[in-house]
Amino acid sequence: MASDPDAALMLAFQNGDERAFRTLFERHGRAMVGFCHHYVKDGARAEELAQDVFLKVHRSAARYQPTARFRTWLYRIAANHCLNELRRGEYGARREAAAREGGSAPVDLDSLPGGAATPEQAAVGEALAGAVRELLARLPEKQRTAFVLCRLEGLSYEEIAEVLETSVSAVKSLLHRATVAAAEALAPWSAPDGKEARQ
């Protein structure tokens, strides 16, 4: 795609420009680690999976065709790789336990409204982050992938449909079900003061 600079870099790498590949890794490496972390809840393993994704990109260079945006193609590889990782069972069997224990995902408390967090805000923020991790761990594979790609990675419905190799209407259905589950799971946090509603 002529308007996609990442696709141009991938084509340059296809023609032997190793610097183009390094540029793609620098542009998307951190995002891939974050994306993989939503699946394995382990920082070191997420980095390994992200490296695996770029190894697949490297090995697929000769077959690459810019029929979609590079980012869409990259997320398709990453989603398939992460789902295969879960299906092997090594991390899939532990993901809910990791979520309940808080996982290893960092929580940027300074990004909460109002700047630096007070101790009370920090506790609320950490608990809410844990609730989100638990939610993601419980969602079926395709719902989780669609939810992460849309709500956390910012992909469009069309891009998600390409990643999941499905229709836009199917993506909307997946997101609707995931959003309903999220609304139910995060209902205790919908109090006006932002604190968890407790009985």
**pLDDT tens per residue across span 117-139:** 566 655 655 665 666 677 777 88
Q: Which domains are assigned to the chain?
A: 1-106 (1.10.1740.10), 111-199 (1.10.10.10)
Query: What's the pTM?
Result: 0.69
169 pLDDT higher than 80: yes
Report whether 163 contacts 72 (CB < 8 A).
yes
Q: Of the given ranges (1-5, 64-68, 156-160, 195-199), which has the lowest mean pLDDT?
A: 195-199
The sign of the CA dihedral 95, 86, 104, 143 is: negative
111 pLDDT higher than 60: no
CA distance 109 to 119: 10
18 pLDDT higher than 70: yes
CA distance 143 to 147: 6
